[in-house]
């Protein structure tokens, strides 16, 4: 989970536990209120909230949210929007609720992977209506979801119909209601969905796109139920292909997500195989996986650091990948690097903590990836002083 540095400073540095029953106790206790063990002092251990994502979310909502401003709460909410993610690195489907096949085979395979060693593989797709998918029960129905996956196919499908690309949103483990598609005959991305009358509708992008065989594509679907103003949106590799508004959908909330291949529209003389990886479900835009690295820097001798670092002191080094997103060298980049992440850091603090001279150069190294056309997203941020690197945020 990506966390801002100032939030880490608000989290407990230690937990205190009874050496006998291992339950959490107050730091000042000398006797366990649970098992009665007498101890001179409780054991000091790393905080449990940093070891478990759910425990961290619970701690922040219970202890941090009441203490911070409304603006800070809104900012923090961005770090707790992920409902589910899986890259199949467990080697199985244990993170999912179940699988289903119809004339096909679904497995976790190691022949291709977008990241890591494994991906979800659906093979033997040739007969009409064949498919194979894995589904996740989110535990509750959501009126708005963003679902992202990486997808690739081993050959161009035959016929004039579209190919179900996924990911799909559903009201059960077997009944999808909206999904991305690609029509290889017309070279168009589209969204296939059920309207309020229960009829299937497919809407396509106005332009055309190229899908290369054997290439991974980042496909993200956004669904928002609010009849008659429901929304369906589709991004491919960070570029928005469709934005459908003012819709009336069959359902206004969805509890299940599934990936794989839902349905072969037209029979194939050669069986096709598809792969899926890097699945994420959230209530905010997700974007592409990973990113490229560039640096922003401040010269302490020039800036003086009389106050905490501010957004006006950071400049981006020349980097072709970053400049390709509309940034030029030596240009203020706080439209890219979030000011709240680094604004708490001041050079005097570093000088006293790490005995850094007044002529030191503080560098902020940020990993970014393209999330939408013309925009990038920070995935990790580090402070670097000589050989010292401190990760401020990121997984």
- Expressed in angstroms, the distance from the first to the final Cα of the chain is 5
By the 8 A CB rule, do 361 and 229 touch? no
Beta-ladder partners of 149: 219
Domain boundaries, the chain: 5-80, 83-282, 292-393
pLDDT value at residue 286: 76
Q: What are phi and psi of 208, to 5 degrees?
A: -125, 160
37 phi and psi angles, rounded to 5 deg: -65, 130
The radius of gyration computed from the CA coordinates of the chain, to the nearest angstrom, equals: 25
pTM, entire model: 0.61
What string of DSSP letters covers 96-148? SSEEEEESSEEEEESS--SSSS-EEEEEEE-STT-EEEEEEEEEEEESEEEEE
Report d(CA 211, CA 151) in Å as an integer: 11
Q: Which CATH class is domain 83-282?
A: mainly beta
Supply the pLDDT for residue 140. 84
Predicted confidence at residue 191, as pLDDT, reads 97
Q: For residues 380 and 356, what is the distance between their CA atoms, to the nearest angstrom?
A: 24
- What pLDDT sits at residue 214? 92
- Residue 84 has a pLDDT of 87
pLDDT in tens, the chain (395 residues): 556 656 666 778 788 999 999 888 988 899 998 999 999 889 988 787 776 666 776 677 667 766 766 556 656 665 666 788 899 999 999 999 999 999 999 999 999 999 889 999 999 999 988 999 999 998 888 898 999 999 999 999 988 888 889 899 998 876 789 999 999 999 999 999 999 999 999 999 999 999 999 999 999 999 999 999 999 999 998 788 999 999 999 999 999 999 999 888 888 999 999 999 999 898 777 777 754 333 333 333 333 333 333 333 333 333 323 323 333 333 333 333 333 333 333 445 545 555 555 554 455 554 444 444 444 444 455 555 544 555 555 44
For residue 366, with 0-12 CB atoms within 10 Å meaning exposed, 13-18 middle and 19 or more buried, which class applies?
buried
Q: Give the pLDDT score at 98.
A: 94
Q: Alpha-carbon torsion 108, 96, 235, 373, what sign?
A: negative
pLDDT of the residue at 217: 93
| pLDDT at residue number 107 | 97
Length of the chain: 395
User: What pLDDT is attached to residue 182?
Assistant: 94
């Amino acid at each position: 989970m990506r966390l801002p540095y100032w939030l880490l400073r608000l989290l407990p540095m230690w937990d205190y536990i009874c050496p006998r029953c291992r339950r959490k106790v107050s730091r000042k206790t000398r006797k366990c209120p649970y098992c009665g063990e007498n101890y001179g002092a409780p054991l000091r251990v790393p905080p449990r909230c940093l070891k478990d994502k759910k425990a961290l979310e619970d701690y922040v909502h219970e202890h941090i949210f009441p203490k911070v401003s409304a603006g800070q709460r809104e900012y923090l909410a961005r770090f707790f929007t992920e409902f589910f993610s899986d890259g199949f690195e467990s080697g199985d489907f244990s993170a999912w609720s179940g699988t289903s096949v119809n004339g096909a085979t679904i497995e976790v395979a190691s022949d291709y992977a977008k990241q890591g060693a494994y991906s979800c593989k659906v093979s033997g797709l040739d007969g009409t209506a064949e498919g194979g998918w894995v589904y996740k029960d989110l535990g509750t129905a959501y009126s708005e979801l963003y679902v992202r996956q990486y997808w690739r196919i081993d050959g161009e499908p035959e016929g004039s119909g579209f190919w179900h690309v996924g990911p799909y949103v559903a009201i059960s483990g077997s009944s999808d209601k909206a999904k991305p598609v690609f029509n290889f005959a017309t070279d168009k991305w589209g969204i296939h969905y059920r309207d309020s009358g229960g009829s299937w509708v497919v809407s396509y992008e106005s332009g055309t796109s190229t899908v290369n065989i054997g290439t991974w594509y980042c496909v993200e679907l956004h669904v928002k139920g609010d009849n008659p103003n429901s929304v369906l949106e589709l991004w491919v590799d960070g570029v928005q292909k469709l934005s459908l508004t003012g819709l009336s959908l069959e359902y206004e909330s969805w509890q299940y997500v599934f990936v794989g291949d839902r349905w072969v529209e037209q029979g194939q003389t050669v069986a096709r195989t598809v792969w899926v990886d890097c699945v994420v479900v959230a209530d905010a835009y997700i974007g592409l996986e990973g990113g490229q690295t560039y640096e922003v820097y401040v010269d302490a001798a020039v800036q003086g650091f009389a106050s905490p670092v501010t957004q006006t002191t950071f400049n981006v080094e020349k980097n072709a990948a970053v400049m390709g997103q509309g940034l030029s060298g030596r240009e203020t980049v706080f439209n890219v690097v979030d000011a709240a992440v680094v604004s708490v850091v001041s050079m005097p603090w570093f000088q006293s903590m790490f005995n850094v001279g007044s002529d030191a150069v503080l560098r902020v190294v940020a990993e970014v990836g393209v999330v939408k056309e013309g925009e990038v997203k920070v995935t990790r941020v580090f402070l670097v002083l000589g050989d010292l690197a401190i990760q401020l945020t990121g997984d």
